[in-house]
Structure 1
Amino acid sequence: MSPAPGAAPAVAFIPNVASTRHYIGAWAVLSVLQYFLAEAVVAMAWAGPRPYDLRTGYISDLGALRCGIYLGRDVCSPLNWLMNASFVVQGLGLLVGAILLTSGLLRVAARPGTRVDWSRRKPWLAAAAVRLLTGAAGVGTVVVGLVPEDAGSPWHYAGAVMYFAAGGAALVVLGILWLRKTGMAWFLLVCGGVSLAALTTGGLTHMRVPEPGTLERLMGYPVTVGMAAAGLVIAQRVHRHRKQRREAVASARATAG
């Protein structure tokens, strides 16, 4: 990270947007989109007495290890290993992003040349909270993949709630932090708000709704899409700045030659 001109490094600095660390972190977060492909493939391979219905079937049913009746539902997912692997990969992507994407980068929404003022504590705390919540969401979905719903452990449901709650909260905080920095901020706010509202509805109704699958997907899909959108913004800006740096170096070498 290079210090801002005319400012003490301890007070303000300009995040190195073009770093490889940030580029890898952005793509790690963006990789969560693989979940949708995995879910579609696993759902098509469903072998229950009736076709899998996204509106009434729980997401975790796709990762159930055994065929039979589970909590009154007929479940049979031959590709359960693929669904569970997808959960783990999704969680690891969020964890890697939470580790590699620095608070300074998140504060400026990956805008090159933007100064970070350390005296402003609220944006710093918000960026740190985004990283912490994103990491928690990643841990939650890793647990979901490692402990399927019919494994006889409460950790599966704890992991799912952690993903929905922490992921939704991370998007809301990031959306607020990115206001006036990118139009994507409003999309993140909507995604986070929808997820948290659906989670609250599920908790109040104990999921006793006509379409529990739809309600659960309103908890999870916005988190996945919102995280991917944030990763896309960062990846695009980091890629653009890296390209500009390479062109500047090439131009300087050509001039010197």
Structure 2
Amino acid sequence: MNRYRVLGGLALAVAGVAFFVGQVVVQSAWTTPFSWADNNISDLGMVSCGTWGDPARYVCSPWHPLMNAVFVVNGVLIAIGVVLGLRGRAARGLLLAAAVGCVLVGYAPADVDENLHVLGAVLVFLLGNAGMIAARSVTRGPRWLPVLFGVVGLVATGLHLSKQGLGLGVAGMERLALFPLFVWFVIEGVLIVRDARRRIPSDRADAAGVA
């Protein structure tokens, strides 16, 4: 069982790291300026070039297949991590829904199927942050951390959806809504691995005693 938790913790941590690394790598391929204040994360996965959205911004992401693959793989890794590594029915249900949202975001880029893409994004924004708050009673770290991150994420989600940047830009507010969730995945994943690995030797000792 503890080996499964190690796998779950690793999956969560890798999902969090991949989320950030994928953005940096794909962003580096842009030949036009990319702004964290003005360009949404979803812009990195859009398949066509042109002016998009409100406020209007130019989008052309040469490595969009990589970004969309990262979104989909993220969803799969989060689901594995939640099932194998996390306890708590409410937290697991909400975070599994967020994992489905990640897959939808990558499967349906914003300029291919906007409705499906937005549905996926809303699942990640709302249920991901809510799931983080619900995990406060089962977290391996301090209980206040997922609550703080989740509240910040939900407030920033509301501001982003109402197009209020508050000096960060609308896209900057989007990042404030999502980044805490994926940072928490890394932290929680590492803590799950640490605790599970500590228990593996005791499990072996117990098994030897029974034998």
TM > 0.5: yes
Closer/same/farther in 2, CA of residues 243 and 56 from structure 1, 3 Å limit:
farther
Ranked by relative contact order (alpha carbons within 8 Å, sequence separation 6 or more), the top structure is: 2
Counterpart position of 2:10: 27
| Matched residue SS, 1:150 | coil
Higher helix share: 2
Q: Percent identity?
A: 33
CA contact (8 A) 1:62 1:80 kept: yes
| Matched residue SS, 2:82 | helix
Offset at residue 47 of structure 1 (A): 2.2
Offset at residue 250 of structure 1 (A): 10
The CA distance in 2 between the partners of 1:53 and 1:85, in whole Å, is 22
May I ask how many residue pairs the two structures share in their alignment?
A: 206
Counterpart position of 1:69: 51
Counterpart position of 1:162: 123
CA contact (8 A) 1:171 1:227 kept: no
Residue deviations 1:62-105 (CA, integer Å, cap 9, x gap): 11101111223200110111111111111111111232236xxx
Where in structure 2 are the equivalents of 1:1-257 lying within 5 Å? 18=2, 20-32=3-15, 33-48=17-32, 51-71=33-53, 72-101=56-85, 106=87, 127-175=88-136, 177-178=137-138, 182-203=140-161, 205=162, 207-209=163-165, 211-246=169-204, 248=205
| Matched residue SS, 2:91 | helix
| Matched residue SS, 2:135 | helix
Structure label with greater radius of gyration: 1
CA contact (8 A) 1:192 1:226 kept: no
Residue deviations 1:175-200 (CA, integer Å, cap 9, x gap): 2x14xx75432221111111111112
| Matched residue SS, 1:154 | helix
Counterpart of 2:12, as a letter, is: V
Counterpart of 1:140, as a letter, is: G
Offset at residue 60 of structure 1 (A): 0.4
Runs of 4+ in 1 over 6 A off after TM superposition: 249-252
TM norm structure 2: 0.89
The CA distance in 1 between the partners of 2:102 and 2:140, in whole Å, is 28
Counterpart of 1:151, as a letter, is: V
Offset at residue 235 of structure 1 (A): 1.1
Deviates more, 1:157-166 or 1:64-73: 64-73
The CA distance in 1 between the partners of 2:31 and 2:21, in whole Å, is 18
Closer/same/farther in 2, CA of residues 249 and 42 from structure 1, 3 Å limit:
same
Closer/same/farther in 2, CA of residues 250 and 141 from structure 1, 3 Å limit:
closer
TM norm structure 1: 0.74
Counterpart of 1:30, as a letter, is: A
Structure 2: state its 5+ residue gaps: none
Residue deviations 1:141-191 (CA, integer Å, cap 9, x gap): 11000100110430101100100111101111112x14xx75432221111
The CA distance in 1 between the partners of 2:112 and 2:207, in whole Å, is 57
The CA distance in 2 between the partners of 1:37 and 1:61, in whole Å, is 16
| Matched residue SS, 1:149 | coil
| Matched residue SS, 1:46 | coil
